[in-house]
């Protein structure tokens, strides 16, 4: 898929087929994070890949899925992500811009994955202290995000914004994601 097609067809997915991500693709996903832009080229981001079943089971309760439609977004046991990537930032390396660098790394990973058919959910509503304890993450690291990955087992489509940004799931389990129109968010030459 070309870059634009990858970007516009990407949607958040929270239910996954139980098919592992090939190691080669996982490496490409991580490479795309490593080579992302970084303020001052300080490169404070590090990544914990969670592939092992026990670790995945320990992480799952620390995550919140689709807050606006809870609990309908929760994946059942046989549709949980096959791999997680926890994005952490060494605050000794970058005290101020780490969150921006982490966000760039996240989007790079999401798009690299999706260009090869692997869907994802960016998770920010996470129990950071629990995650710190489970994975022995030192105090000088900020735990920014968790990326949930896997081949999609549900569908999601964009809808025109009609006064409410709240997304919904229909009776078939498909997500509908309202997005504001270009005319409402783009200003040419003057506000
Ligand atoms: C910074 C950030 C944090 C997010 N945190 C969560 C989360 O904790 N749980 C969740 O289910 N989705 C989370 N999402 C996914 C959003 O709900 C999703 O991007 C939004 O509904 C728009 O859908 P789309 O990604 O398909 O365009 C997060 C997205 C971003 C960018």
| Omega cis (within 30) before 71 | yes
CA of 189 to the centre of ligand 1 (A): 31
pLDDT score for 70: 87
Same domain for 139 and 188, yes or no, is: no
Q: Which among 91, 122, 92, 116 has a CA at the least distance from the CA of 104?
A: 122
Q: Three-state SS for 179?
A: strand
Same domain for 182 and 90, yes or no, is: no
Same domain for 144 and 54, yes or no, is: yes
Residue owning the nearest CA to atom 25 of ligand 1: 12
- Which range is least confidently modeled, 69-78, 135-144, 171-180? 69-78
pLDDT score for 149: 98
Mean pLDDT of 94-101: 96
pLDDT of residue 1 exceeding 90: no
Give the separation between CA 174 and CA 151, rounded to whole angstroms: 16
pLDDT of residue 88 exceeding 90: yes
Atom of ligand 1 nearest to the CA of 10: 26
CA of 12 to the centre of ligand 1 (A): 7
Residue owning the nearest CA to atom 18 of ligand 1: 12
Q: Which domain holds residue 173?
A: 155-191
Same domain for 77 and 121, yes or no, is: yes
- Rounded to two decimals, the pTM is 0.97
Q: For the segment 75-86, what is each residue's pLDDT rounded down to a tens digit? A: 999 999 999 999
Above pLDDT 90, what percent of the chain? 97
Question: Which residues form the pocket of ligand 1, taking CB atoms under 6 Å from any ligand atom?
Answer: 11-12, 14, 64-66, 73, 121-125, 156, 167, 177
Question: By CB neighbour count within 10 A (0-12 exposed, 13-18 middle, 19+ buried), where does 100 fall?
Answer: middle
Residue owning the nearest CA to atom 2 of ligand 1: 124
Residue owning the nearest CA to atom 23 of ligand 1: 12
CA of 22 to the centre of ligand 1 (A): 25
More confident call, 67 vs 151 = 151
Mean pLDDT of 105-111: 98
Same domain for 143 and 165, yes or no, is: no
CA of 173 to the centre of ligand 1 (A): 17
Q: For the segment 18-39, what is each residue's pLDDT rounded down to a tens digit? A: 999 999 999 999 999 999 999 9
Q: Which residues pair with 57 in a beta bridge?
A: none
Q: Which among 77, 85, 56 has a CA at the least distance from the CA of 146?
A: 85
């Amino acid at each position: 898929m070309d870059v634009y097609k990858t970007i516009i067809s990407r949607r958040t997915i929270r239910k996954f087929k139980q098919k592992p991500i090939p190691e080669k693709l996982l490496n490409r996903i991580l490479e795309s994070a490593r080579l992302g832009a970084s303020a001052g080229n300080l490169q404070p981001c590090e990544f914990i890949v969670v592939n092992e079943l026990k670790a995945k089971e320990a992480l799952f309760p620390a995550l919140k899925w689709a807050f606006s439609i809870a609990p309908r977004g929760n994946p059942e046991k046989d549709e949980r992500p096959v791999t997680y990537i926890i994005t952490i930032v060494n605050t000794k390396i970058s005290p101020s811009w780490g969150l921006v660098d982490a966000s760039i790394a996240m989007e790079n990973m999401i798009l690299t994955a999706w260009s090869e058919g692997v869907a994802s959910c960016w998770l920010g509503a996470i129990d950071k202290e629990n995650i710190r304890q489970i994975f022995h993450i030192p105090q000088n690291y900020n735990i920014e995000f968790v990326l949930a990955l896997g081949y999609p087992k549900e569908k999601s489509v964009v809808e025109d914004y009609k006064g409410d940004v709240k997304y919904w799931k229909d009776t078939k389990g498909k997500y509908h994601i309202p997005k504001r129109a270009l005319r409402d968010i783009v200003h040419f030459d003057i506000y």
